[in-house]
Amino acid sequence: MHRRTVWLALAAVSAAALAGCGSSDSGDNTAPQTSGGKTSVTVGVIPIVDVAPLYLGQKRGFFAGRGIDLKMVTAQGGAAIIPGVVSGQFQFGFSNTTSLMLAQTKGVPVKSVANGATTNGKVGGDVTAVLVKKDSPVTSAKQLAGRTVAVNTLQNIGDTTVRESVRKAGGDPSKVKFAEIPFDQMPAALDDGRVDAAWMGEPSQTIAKAQGARIVASPFAETDPKLTVATYFTSTKIAQQNPDLVKRFTEAMNESLQYASAHPDEARQTLTAYTKISGDVLDKLILPAWPAAVDHASLEKLAGLGERDGIFGDKKPDIGALFS
């Protein structure tokens, strides 16, 4: 989704949220429903490897044990999930941290409540990577300058961290060109020569490597070996009006993250419940790290890089307020 579309979506949510201030609570669709002693909670997610702990936690009863009847609804990305949370379609959502920072600077009332996923810190073996074709002359991030790199969303966490990899390798990040292509289409786009390189998540990078593609950069790990990539969040309204629900969800999510970290094979198998990943791809794909706590220092660094790129306009993200 293009940057303009994302901004328009966030602006619409912000306007709706402001219009709702001062209205009565009658007909409030943000309030979760309770039935049979359990609170019904819907979470907006992206069907990627990063959210495996959530599904694993549901299977293991970590949410039900805290009185939460959990339901997941998939979306294409944060541009759909963030408005869904603010409107009450979802009580919680999953989003990359740059998208949440952008939402906050646009006045969208959201608050992070639990960690989602973190880089595993392994250069050359991280959950995302920049890949090139086997016969490409590019052998390092420095040589991406002047070439076209595919990212799933322009002006977001992908191109920001790719630029940092180029910068650290001694290249000129301002000379990197970016093309917006969905993750699942990147292996074909790279193989067909439509782009010189592609920043891929999983399972796309595993599929591309099977086609002969090579890794030349690991932007998350190279930006910060403890980079918090994504978190679960809610609306500030739910955070203020239903703190007990937020507390229970956060506790269940933290237990899920800890369990997934201790049982990576089980987490990997959970992917078959909500994706079409199977076989060799399932066995070979790289997992992120799932610590229970966010790394605030890495988020401050990411925010600074986003400011340098001009993602946030004139406003600066308040990391303490958003990810406290």
Is residue 13 a part of any domain in this protein? no
Q: How many helices (H) and strands (E) does the chain have?
A: 14, 11
- DSSP state letters, 296-317: HHHHHHHHHHHHHHTTTTT---
Q: How many domains does the chain have?
A: 2
Judgement on whether residues 193 and 316 belong to the same structural domain of the protein: no
pLDDT tens digits, residue range 164-186?
A: 999 999 999 999 999 999 999 99
Are 269 and 306 within one domain? yes
**Is residue 17 included in any domain, yes or no?**
no
Token pair for 143: 């040589």
Same domain, 318 and 237: yes
Question: The CATH number of the domain where 149 resides is what?
Answer: 3.40.190.10
Residue 133 and residue 93 share a domain: no
pLDDT at 81: 93
43: region left, alpha or beta (phi > 0 left; psi from -120 to 50 alpha): beta
Say if CB 108 and CB 209 are below 8 A apart: no
Given 223, 250, 284, the domain boundary residue is 223
Q: Are residues 231 and 316 in the same domain?
A: yes
> Looking at the structure, do residues 133 and 96 belong to the same domain, yes or no?
no
Rounded Cα distance between 47 and 257, Å, is 17
Identify the domain containing residue 112 by its residue range.
Answer: 30-119+227-322
Say if strands 148-151 and 177-180 run parallel, antiparallel, or are unpaired. Answer: parallel
Q: Would 22 be classed as within a structural domain?
A: no
Residues pairing with 95 in the sheet: 231
Whether 75 and 151 map to the same domain: the answer is: no
Clarify whether residues 202 and 282 are in a common domain: no
Q: What's the mean pLDDT in 298-309?
A: 95
pLDDT in tens, 198-242: 999 999 999 999 999 999 999 999 999 999 999 999 999 999 999
Q: Which of 245, 277, 315 has its CA nearest to residue 104?
A: 315
* Same-domain status, 114 and 231: yes
Last residue of a domain, one of 197, 223, 249: 223
Instruction: Using DSSP bridges, classify how beta strands 34-35 and 38-45 pair: parallel, antiparallel or unpaired.
Output: antiparallel
Q: Which of 223, 249, 271 is the last residue of a domain?
A: 223
pTM over 0.85: yes
Same domain? 219 vs 237: no
312 inside domain: yes
pLDDT of the residue at 98: 94
Indicate whether 200 and 270 sit together in one domain: no
